A and B are shown apart, each in its own frame.
Chain A
Amino acid sequence: QKEVEQDPGPLSVPEGAIVSLNCTYSNSAFQYFMWYRQYSRKGPELLMYTYSSGNKEDGRFTAQVDKSSKYISLFIRDSQPSDSATYLCAASPAGNNRKLIWGLGTSLAVNP
C-alpha cells in the first residue's frame, strides 16, 4: 500500500462546476499536507499548505484535512478552463526531515 493514495482520474467537469479532489494516507506521523498544481511540462506550483487537521481557504480553493480518517481534500469553486492541470497531494511528518510523500496526481480537465 502506498503511503499516499490518489485517484489519477482523469476528471472532466464543465466550467463553473465545483471540483472535489481527494487523497488518503496511511502514516499517522504525517503532520503537513500540501496540494500542488502542475501544468504540462512545468514544475509543480504550491496551492495550499496545511498543518494538522482543519480547513484552509484561499480564493476559490479550499483544503481540508481530516486526520481521524486520514483524508485530504481540495475543493475548487467556480472552476475555470485555466484550472485544467494535474493536481498532486503530498504529506510529510513533523521534524527536520521534510521529505514529501506524493500521491500520483489527478488529471483535471475543465471544459468551457
Chain B
Amino acid sequence: GAVVSQHPSRVICKSGTSVKIECRSLDFQATTMFWYRQFPKKSLMLMATSNEGSKATYEQGVEKDKFLINHASLTLSTLTVTSAHPEDSSFYICSASSLTGGEQYFGPGTRLTVT
C-alpha cells in the first residue's frame, strides 16, 4: 500500500505556542489530504479536507484560524495548531488520497501534549 509519513510523532509544547505537523505522501501524488483528530478510545473526527493548491475545507465546529492547513504540493500538507491550549492535546492523524482511488492512506499520527 501507499506510504504516508507524519512528523513529528510526538510533541510537547507550552500553552500559547504554535506547533506545526507535517504530512507527506512518499510514493504517490496526493491530490487530497485529510486531517483528523482522535481522542482516546474514540473514532476519528475529521477536521478538514485540503486539495493541493486550494484552501482547506473545514468541518463544522473546527476553527480555521486555530488550525491552519497548507497543502502546497502534491506530497506535502501541514497542520499548524496556533496558540495551543491544553484542550488541544490530542492525537492528530493525516491521510492522503490520490485522484485515481477513493481510499485514504494514513500517517502514523502525532501525539500533541500542551502543558
Contacts and interface: CB of A to CB of B under 8 A. Distances in A.
A49 B46 contact: no
Chain B interface SS verdict (over half): strand
Interface string B68-99: 00000000000000000000000101010100
B43 A41 contact: no
Given A98-B32, A99-B49, A105 B43 contact: yes
A102 B37 CA distance: 13
A45 interface: yes
Interface residues of B, number: 24
A18 interface: no
Contact of A32 (B42, B44, B103): B103
Contacts of B49: 99
Contacts of A92: 102
A88 interface: yes
A34 interface: yes
Q: How large is the interface on A (under 10, 10 to 19, 20 to 34, 35 or more residues)?
A: 20 to 34
A41 B44 contact: no
Interface of B: 1, 4, 6, 32, 34, 42-44, 46, 49, 91, 93, 95, 97, 101-109, 111
Interface of A: 32, 34, 36, 41-46, 49, 51, 88, 92, 98-100, 102-105
21 contacts: A32-B102, A42-B109, A43-B4, A43-B93, A43-B95, A43-B106, A43-B107, A44-B95, A44-B106, A45-B1, A46-B105, A46-B106, A49-B101, A51-B102, A92-B102, A98-B97, A98-B102, A99-B34, A100-B46, A104-B42, A105-B43
